[in-house]
Structure 1
Amino acid sequence: MERASFDQEPALEVCIDSVASAVAAEQGGAQRVELCDYLAGGGTTPSAGLIKVVRKSIGISLHVLIRPRRGDFLYTDAEFEVMKNDIEVCRELGADGVVIGVLNKDGSVDTARTQELIAHAGPLSITFHRAFDLTPDPLKALDALLQLNVHHLLTSGQQETALQGSGLIRELNERAAGKLIVMPGGGVNPSNVRKLVSETGVSEVHASVRKLVESSMNFRKAYPPMSSNRNLSEFEQLVADVSQVKAMREAFKREPS
């Protein structure tokens, strides 16, 4: 496959989690945004309110992440129902596409559930996200996505950064042969994007390109913290514990000593 060049400028998708970032992405010349919540945890589905206001605030293409929680991509029936309902909300609010990813216990693409989500999405564009990077056989996973007629694949080439995974990304891009757009993401920035495009031959890239913005608060209190600092792996969740809930209820009933 002929390598892409900057004579034919790649399309840029910017990952965002706020209205301000959406507007900045459009002002900077991005062709599309991927709207998420909780980027610190890899991203989850944003609220309906955020989707609605972002849609009103920008004229470029809007894709929305459909991910009911952080962590792995093996979902319960209840979580899958949430995903289907969130897709319907995205369609109603004017999103142009949704970003999904569902895996089986063995790490392979869950084709049945992916197909069901695609059906719920109707005319919306479909991106399969970096759940792909946790599959054991990337070429087999790509073939599954081609059979499902997915439009985009977001991947770091199963490495920490897309540049580190450029060899696999190039192979995926050549294997897709234009039937699916392979879009590198992960550590992509202005200093390495030219090299990444040259090495992979891709026509689109995905980046966060964020900067630190100070709060406008005058009164600042450092304690107590509003979030937990504990780091969880992709295969751990913090879930309400039935026994502890019951213990709390029992504690309410006891007379103070």
Structure 2
Amino acid sequence: MKKIEIACFNVKSAIIASKAGADRIEFCEGYEIGGITPKIEDVKEVKNKIRTDLYVMIRPVGGKFNYTEKAFLQMKQSIQEMKLLGVDGFVFGILTPQNTIDIERNKELLELAKPLPCTFHRAFDTIEDKKTALSILITLGFTTVLTSGIITTALEGKEILKTLLQLSKNKITIMPGGGIRATNIQLLDSYINASYYHSAALKKEEEITDFDEVIQLKKNLS
């Protein structure tokens, strides 16, 4: 059965997505900068109000995906705090200044997150050698990679997504994301046949989840 993860940037959206039947919520804030770590009080509120699986973004600042030591310490602290709230997983990704996977830092966060599953987010899309990167993520123990295949949209990146799905050999979930809507998810799925998809499902010109869009996304995947 195919599933849909909804990116939510505020408490209201998370509640809407849950009521609409999202299979999982990626919770963060800061839509305009691609998502950063949400406030702990917001995570607590969402966790108390929904029963949908809740993955939390661990990203202290927007911009590039290599971090200062201070920011890295913030990431570690956030994981420890969020685990105590009973979240279901984490979303993060650290690169080196050379835009390759920072093996040691990612490993450290994965150890802190255990036994919870972790998604490597769209930092993956900025890496040139995706085949090597995917192999590293599998070895490290990430359970999912969120990617558009390229830097723009999943539909434009469908060829790369299909290749990544073949390379994954069911050892890691390739979750397409980027510009996915109810109007194009069937076309994308017919080409790549992924098991999990990611969408913000926002209302037009708003940062609030569109209840009807989530319903239609689910319907078009069934």
TM-score with structure 1 setting the length:
0.78
Q: Tell me which of 38, 43, 62 is aligned to 1:46.
A: 38
8 Å CA contact 2:110–2:141 kept in 1: the answer is no
Asked if 1:111 corresponds to 2:103, the answer is yes
8 Å CA contact 2:6–2:200 kept in 1: the answer is yes
**Closer/same/farther in 2, CA of residues 171 and 213 from structure 1, 3 Å limit:** closer
Q: Structure 1 residue 125: deviation in Å?
A: 1.1
Consecutive unaligned residues of structure 2, counting only runs of 5 or more, are 207-222
Give the Cα–Cα distance (whole angstroms) in 2 for the partners of residues 170 and 69 of structure 1: 31
Give the Cα–Cα distance (whole angstroms) in 1 for the partners of residues 191 and 151 of structure 2: 15
Asked if 1:90 corresponds to 2:82, the answer is yes
Give the Cα–Cα distance (whole angstroms) in 2 for the partners of residues 98 and 91 of structure 1: 9
CA deviations 1:121-144 (Å, max 9, x no partner) are 111110000000011111111011
Match of 2:183 in 1: 191
Q: Structure 1 residue 160: deviation in Å?
A: 0.4
Following TM superposition, the consecutive aligned residue runs of length 4 or more in structure 1 with deviations greater than 2 angstroms are none
Q: Tell me which of 44, 61, 76 is aligned to 2:68.
A: 76
Report the structure number with the largest CA radius of gyration: 1
8 Å CA contact 1:19–1:57 kept in 2: the answer is no
Give the Cα–Cα distance (whole angstroms) in 2 for the partners of residues 189 and 52 of structure 1: 29
CA deviations 1:136-194 (Å, max 9, x no partner) are 11111101101112101000002300010011111111111111000000000000001
Give the Cα–Cα distance (whole angstroms) in 2 for the partners of residues 13 and 200 of structure 1: 17
CA deviations 1:48-85 (Å, max 9, x no partner) are 00000000111010000000000001111111000000
Give the Cα–Cα distance (whole angstroms) in 2 for the partners of residues 167 and 213 of structure 1: 30
SS at match of 1:187: coil
8 Å CA contact 2:121–2:147 kept in 1: the answer is yes
Aligned residue runs from structure 1 range 194-213, under 5 A:
194-212=186-204
In structure 1, give the amino acid aligned to 2:202.
R
Match of 2:20 in 1: 28
Give the Cα–Cα distance (whole angstroms) in 1 for the partners of residues 205 and 187 of structure 2: 29
Give the Cα–Cα distance (whole angstroms) in 2 for the partners of residues 201 and 31 of structure 1: 17
8 Å CA contact 1:14–1:30 kept in 2: the answer is yes
Give the Cα–Cα distance (whole angstroms) in 2 for the partners of residues 196 and 94 of structure 1: 34
Q: Structure 1 residue 213: deviation in Å?
A: 8.2
In structure 1, give the amino acid aligned to 2:182.
P
In structure 2, give the amino acid aligned to 1:19.
V
Q: Structure 1 residue 101: deviation in Å?
A: 0.5
8 Å CA contact 1:154–1:183 kept in 2: the answer is yes
In structure 1, give the amino acid aligned to 2:64.
D
Match of 2:218 in 1: none
Q: Structure 1 residue 205: deviation in Å?
A: 0.2
| Count of aligned pairs between the two proteins | 206
Higher share in helix = 2
SS at match of 2:96: coil
TM-score with structure 2 setting the length:
0.90
Give the Cα–Cα distance (whole angstroms) in 1 for the partners of residues 132 and 205 of structure 2: 42
Match of 1:101 in 2: 93
8 Å CA contact 2:126–2:151 kept in 1: the answer is no
